[in-house]
């Protein structure tokens, strides 16, 4: 009974926190709400007329939605890079950052699920996928694995921080015996969500561009670069706008993680390029399309070369200690690395998988305004969810929110 | 050959090509055949109705629905009145759908829609359940259009495994198969969906799909070219079936790879998994003019589809399970297409497989297509 009382008070207090803030905060939330509404309007058009309002066709049947989904799974998985040292290796530095990291993971997962639902042709029969009432093609379909691991990871990332914050809210210390096992599982789980998502593509013999053994490991490397890079940026913003204390040491440690992951990612990129272009086969055509264009069709060229140059530049900057330890340079490097990987692992990965088609037909894909509207709406949703979670968590952590008996 | 058959199946939705030419169906260009006699009286009726409507609602007709409602000056009191009224109408609509007094037909329709929305996967249904859903769909069509269709739920027969062979030497690229397929299978006319693609290839280049043209608009057979058709190959080890998260697509006992259109969630994973471009997606609501609907249907085959679901060639399950050849085989004027039961040693398809040098596409992928190519 007491716990319910505390919960009720927590909900009331957090509602109070998230509805009060500075002028800038209100402007931020209003802008996000506006973008979400625009996204919902675009989605209503899509629901009404069907997916024909998007740029997708029978030739390129996955587009911006699935690209963003793939990328965001990586962002969600990256929260583990903070969880592991804090809870498992008992490195105290990360303790403040880890709640933020888990908040990012929750927001990213919600975006992932929203993108998958936006991509569905029949969202009204989505219950067919629910085990028990529907038919769940497990273990044959990798998509069912993905449904399981994503929702499981979402559960872990909600419950662990919730337990810790719930204890802190009452002014108690959280018990290690409760959350450390959960943290342990989530470490393995994070690797699983990303590997399973890679297997979704890797397992298709029809698409040689995806059907290579490096796809999974490369997903992990790029995720562990882009995710923590985003977390560094978020921490930088939180540090300058709230009294929440994040030490330089913490950011420097995360920067180290980003650096190593970005270096490994670059090595894998070189390995992939070597394989595709040293002895090109029929199966290298998608890579040719992506990097050089085929038959005068080259819509992705500016994107992928931007991504590659940003990627190399960021990795070089991060590699030098002097540059990395200068925070202004670090934030810049993190930002361009994030953009680079969003391009490369988003539509730079998904779209060329369909080009050329099974019989060599080259049909390009350009997203429509409605598709972009829905995509922006979902990103705004993610930012909105994260802001709410972070504001409450910070309120509890700095002791502003406390249970009054 | 096939002079009258267009390559594309052009739409006839409300477009009046014949009328606009000024000639009449009897063939004469000037009046006097008699079929236009009633037109004059019709016109006066229409004109009368026009005048009557103009007199009663006047300028509201010029504005569209949105403007009629919102482009009106009103004070707060009447605005609230109207809001309340519309709320009552909405509540009324909800109550009629559940009420005892409303029409039997609309109630029946609601009942059917409800049961259809929450029915199970066809693959797992018993024969009675299959029959029930087919009955519901037929009744629903009757309620909506006033016309009858026949829909079968015939299961695969024992000792039947369907296979297909394509004679590259014979095909001349007429595309009669494509037309027949669209007519038979009620594909969406708006997007000109086609299951079959005919690839025009240059002699001396081999089977070079990259340089082939599957979208030609010239007289065939074109000099120095040969033709090759592709469609769903009904693989024995179909990758599309493996990846479906809800088992909305599966391989039937007679080898047909089918889709339950009502169970499909529209994720398009099967489309990405198919190495043969065998699957099509309904990006918007499929449109088939009522006059062109093929009324002889099968649940797994050519029944009308809806928005946001996958579909594909079923070797015309409504025909093949009734002992007939698929529409493409029947329509082919050159005899390039051969269809039959692989388990029947006396069938033509078996003769082809045993006596011709046959091959299949992308055999290295391990999909085991049941679609062979051969040459004379």
Query: Domain containing B211 — which CATH number?
Result: 3.30.70.20
Q: Is residue B172 located within the same domain as residue B130? A: no
Name the residue of chain B whose CA is nearest to A46's CA: B284
Q: Which residues of B touch A140 (CB under 8 A)?
A: 242-243
The beta strand positions in B174-322, using DSSP E, are 197-202, 225-230, 249-251, 257-259, 279-281, 296-298, 310-312
Q: Which of B69, B85, B109 is the last residue of a domain?
A: B69
How far apart CA B171 and CA B196 sit, in angstroms, is 13
Name the residue of chain A whose CA is nearest to B308's CA: A121
Name the residue of chain B whose CA is nearest to A124's CA: B265
Q: Is residue B358 located within the same domain as residue B256? A: yes
- Inter-chain contact B366–A205, Cβ cutoff 8 Å? yes
Q: Is residue B288 located within the same domain as residue B310? A: yes
Domain of residue A168 covers: 23-229+236-397
- Residue B311 maps to a domain: yes
Q: Is residue B106 located within the same domain as residue B185? A: no
Q: Is residue B342 located within the same domain as residue B196? A: yes
Q: Is residue B221 located within the same domain as residue B367? A: yes
Contact map slice: B 116-175 vs A, CB within 8 A: 117, 120-121, 123-124
Q: Is residue B144 located within the same domain as residue B187? A: no
The beta strand positions in B142-295, using DSSP E, are 150-152, 162-167, 197-202, 225-230, 249-251, 257-259, 279-281
Q: Which residues of B touch A200 (CB under 8 A)?
A: 269
- Residue A3 maps to a domain: no
- Residue B219 maps to a domain: yes
- Residue A5 maps to a domain: no
- Residue B183 maps to a domain: yes
Three-state SS at B164: strand
Q: Which residues of B touch A147 (CB under 8 A)?
A: 245
Chain B contact for A131 (CB, 8 A cutoff): no
- Residue B35 maps to a domain: no
What is the per-residue pLDDT for A187? Answer: 85
CB-CB: which of B242, B243, B281 is closest to A58? B281
- Inter-chain contact A129–B246, Cβ cutoff 8 Å? yes
Q: Is residue B58 located within the same domain as residue B173? A: no
Q: Is residue B238 located within the same domain as residue B336? A: yes
Size of interface A-B (CB pairs under 8 A): 135
Mark out the alpha helices in A244-284 (DSSP H runs): 248-278
pTM for this prediction: 0.85
Binned average pLDDT, 10 residues per bin, chain A of 405 residues: 89 91 94 98 96 95 96 88 73 75 93 96 92 89 94 93 91 86 87 93 94 93 93 92 86 91 95 94 93 92 96 96 94 97 94 93 94 97 96 90 82
Domain of residue B46 covers: 41-69
- Residue B36 maps to a domain: no
CA distances, A40 to each of A37, A43, A44, A63 (Å): 5, 5, 6, 19
Chain A contact for B363 (CB, 8 A cutoff): no
SS3 content of chain A, % helix, strand, coil (to 5): 75, 0, 25
Q: Is residue B311 located within the same domain as residue B268? A: yes
Tally of domains within chain B: 3
- Inter-chain contact A128–B272, Cβ cutoff 8 Å? no
How far apart CA B196 and CA B181 sit, in angstroms, is 8
Two tokens at B74? 């009103």
- Residue A290 maps to a domain: yes
Tally of domains within chain A: 1
- Residue A78 maps to a domain: yes
Q: How many CA atoms lie less than 13 Å away from B358 in the CB half-sphere?
A: 20
- Residue A313 maps to a domain: yes
How far apart CA A69 and CA B310 sit, in angstroms, is 21
CATH of the domain at A219: 1.20.1630.10
Q: Is residue B63 located within the same domain as residue B209? A: no
Two tokens at B256? 């047909």
A121–chain B nearest CA distance, Å: 4
Binned average pLDDT, 10 residues per bin, chain B of 376 residues: 47 42 42 43 60 60 52 63 68 60 81 91 94 95 92 95 96 95 95 95 92 91 95 96 95 96 96 96 95 95 95 96 96 96 96 96 94 95
How far apart CA B249 and CA B271 sit, in angstroms, is 11
- Residue B299 maps to a domain: yes
- Residue B27 maps to a domain: no
- Inter-chain contact A356–B210, Cβ cutoff 8 Å? yes
- Residue B76 maps to a domain: no
């Amino acid at each position: 009974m007491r716990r319910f009382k505390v919960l009720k008070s927590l909900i009331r207090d957090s509602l109070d926190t998230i509805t009060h803030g500075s002028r800038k905060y209100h402007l931020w939330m209003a802008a996000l709400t506006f973008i979400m509404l625009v996204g919902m309007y675009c989605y209503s058009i899509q629901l009404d007329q069907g997916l024909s309002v998007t740029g997708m066709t029978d030739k390129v049947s996955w587009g911006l939605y699935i690209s963003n989904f793939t990328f965001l799974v990586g962002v969600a998985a990256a929260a583990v890079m903070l969880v592991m040292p804090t809870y498992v290796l008992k490195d105290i530095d990360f303790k403040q950052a880890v709640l933020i990291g888990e908040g990012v993971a929750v927001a990213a997962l919600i975006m992932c699920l929203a993108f998958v639902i936006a991509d569905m042709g029949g969202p009204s029969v989505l219950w067919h996928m629910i085990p028990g009432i529907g038919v769940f093609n497990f273990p044959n379909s990798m998509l069912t694995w993905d449904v399981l691991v994503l929702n499981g990871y979402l559960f872990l990332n909600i419950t662990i921080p919730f337990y810790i914050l719930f204890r802190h809210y009452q002014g108690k210390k959280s018990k290690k015996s409760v959350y450390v096992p959960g943290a342990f599982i989530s470490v393995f789980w994070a690797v699983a969500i990303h590997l399973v998502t890679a297997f979704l593509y890797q397992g298709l013999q029809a698409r040689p561009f995806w059907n290579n053994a490096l796809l999974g490991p490369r997903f992990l490397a790029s995720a562990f670069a882009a995710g923590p890079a985003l977390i560094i940026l978020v921490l930088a913003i939180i540090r300058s706008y709230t009294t929440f204390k994040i030490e330089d040491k913490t950011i420097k440690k995360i920067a180290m993680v980003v650096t190593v992951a970005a270096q490994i990612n670059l090595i894998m990129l070189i390995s992939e390029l070597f394989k595709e272009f040293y002895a090109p086969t029929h199966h290298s055509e998608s890579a040719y399309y992506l990097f050089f264009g085929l038959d005068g069709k080259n819509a992705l060229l500016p994107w992928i070369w931007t991504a590659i140059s940003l990627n190399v530049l960021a990795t070089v900057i991060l590699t030098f200690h002097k540059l990395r330890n200068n925070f202004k340079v670090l934030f810049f490097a993190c930002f361009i690395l994030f953009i680079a990987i969003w391009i490369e692992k988003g539509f730079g990965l998904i779209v060329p998988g369909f080009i050329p088609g099974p019989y060599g037909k080259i049909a390009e894909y350009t997203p429509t305004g409605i598709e972009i509207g829905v995509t922006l709406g979902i990103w705004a949703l993610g930012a909105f969810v994260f802001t709410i979670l972070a504001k409450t968590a910070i309120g509890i952590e700095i002791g502003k929110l406390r249970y009054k008996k | 050959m096939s002079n009258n058959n267009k390559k594309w199946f052009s739409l006839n939705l409300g477009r009046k090509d014949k009328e606009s030419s000024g000639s009449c169906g009897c063939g004469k260009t000037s009046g006097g055949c008699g079929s236009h006699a009633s037109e004059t009286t019709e016109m006066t009726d229409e004109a009368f109705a026009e005048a009557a409507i103009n007199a009663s609602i006047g300028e509201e007709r010029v504005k569209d629905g949105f403007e009629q409602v919102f482009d009106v000056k009103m004070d707060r009191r009447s605005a609230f009145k109207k809001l309340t009224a519309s709320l009552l109408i909405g509540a009324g609509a909800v109550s009629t759908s559940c009420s005892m007094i409303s029409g039997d037909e609309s109630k029946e329709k609601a009942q059917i829609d409800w049961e259809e929305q929450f029915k199970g996967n066809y693959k797992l249904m018993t024969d009675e359940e299959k029959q029930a859903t087919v009955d519901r769909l037929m009744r629903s069509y009757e309620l909506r259009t006033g016309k009858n269709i026949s829909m079968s739920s015939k299961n695969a027969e024992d000792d039947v495994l369907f296979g297909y062979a394509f004679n590259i030497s014979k095909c001349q690229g007429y595309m009669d198969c494509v037309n027949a397929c669209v007519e038979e299978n009620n594909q969406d006319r708006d997007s000109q969906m086609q299951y079959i693609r005919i690839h025009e290839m240059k002699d001396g280049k081999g089977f070079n799909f990259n340089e082939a043209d599957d979208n030609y608009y010239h007289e065939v057979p074109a000099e120095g070219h040969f033709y090759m058709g592709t469609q769903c190959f009904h693989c024995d080890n179909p990758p599309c079936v493996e990846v479906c998260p809800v088992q909305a697509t599966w391989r039937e006992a007679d080898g047909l790879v089918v889709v339950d259109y009502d169970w499909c969630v529209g994720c398009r994973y099967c489309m990405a998994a198919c190495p043969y471009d065998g699957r099509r997606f309904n990006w918007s609501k499929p449109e088939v003019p009522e006059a062109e609907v093929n009324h002889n249907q099968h649940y797994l085959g050519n029944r009308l589809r809806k928005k946001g679901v996958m579909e594909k060639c079923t070797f015309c399950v409504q025909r093949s399970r009734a002992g007939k050849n698929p529409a493409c085989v029947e329509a082919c004027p050159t005899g390039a297409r051969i269809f039959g039961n692989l388990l029947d040693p006396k069938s033509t398809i078996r003769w082809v497989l045993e006596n011709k040098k046959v091959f299949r596409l992308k055999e290295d992928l391990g999909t085991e297509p049941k679609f062979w190519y051969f040459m004379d």
